[in-house]
Amino acid sequence: MSRTATYNTTVTWKGEHWGRICLGNGPEMDFSAPPESQGHEGVLTPEDAFVAAVNTCIMMMFIWTAERFKLDLVSYECRADGTKLIELNRTETFTKVVLRPNIVVRCESSQKEIVEKRIMRALETAQKYSLVAI
C-alpha cells in the first residue's frame, strides 16, 4: 500500500541577499545567492543545496543498495559538479550534475571482477531509485 511522507523547510529573509533556512529535521543555517548573483561567499546557496541533494541522495541509495548486494563497503566519497546554463535573459537551469564517486569495498582478490560488476549495478540502482537524481 502506498503512503506519503512530508518534509518541510522554513526560510526567513534577513535583509539584503541573506536568508536563514530551518530544516524540518532540525538543522538551521544562513544562506545567500552565489557571489556572482549579488550574494555572499562562504554560506549555503540554492545551487549548493541542489547539487548536494543529488549527491547525498545517491550516496544514501548506494549504501542501501550495497547492503542488499552484500558489498563490504569500506568507504564512500563522492564529488558532485553541477553545471548551470545562464541564458541571456538571466534565466538559469541546471543542465547536468556529474558525480565522481570513490568507493572502496573489501573483497577477496579472486572475487574482484565480480564485486566490481556488483558495485556498478549498485550505482545504477542507486541512480534509478534516487528521488532527485537527474
Asked if residue 63 and residue 4 are part of one domain, the reply reads no
pTM of the model: 0.89
Per-residue pLDDT tens for 5-42? 999 999 999 999 999 999 999 999 999 999 988 999 99
Asked if residue 55 and residue 91 are part of one domain, the reply reads yes
Q: What residues contact residue 32 under an 8 Å CB cut-off, 6+ apart?
A: 17, 18, 19, 39, 40, 43, 44, 45
Asked if residue 82 and residue 108 are part of one domain, the reply reads yes
Domain extent at residue 29: 1-44
Asked if residue 27 and residue 50 are part of one domain, the reply reads no
Asked if residue 19 and residue 67 are part of one domain, the reply reads no
Asked if residue 78 and residue 20 are part of one domain, the reply reads no
Q: In the chain, pLDDT over 90 holds for what percent of residues?
A: 86
- CB atoms near residue 26 (< 10 Å): 6
Distance CA 10, CA 128 (A): 29
Total domain count, the chain: 2
Per-residue pLDDT tens for 32-68? 999 988 999 999 999 999 999 999 999 999 999 999 9
Task: Return the C-alpha cell found at 44.
Answer: 549555503
Asked if residue 132 and residue 75 are part of one domain, the reply reads yes
Asked if residue 16 and residue 62 are part of one domain, the reply reads no
Cα R_g (the chain), whole angstroms:
19
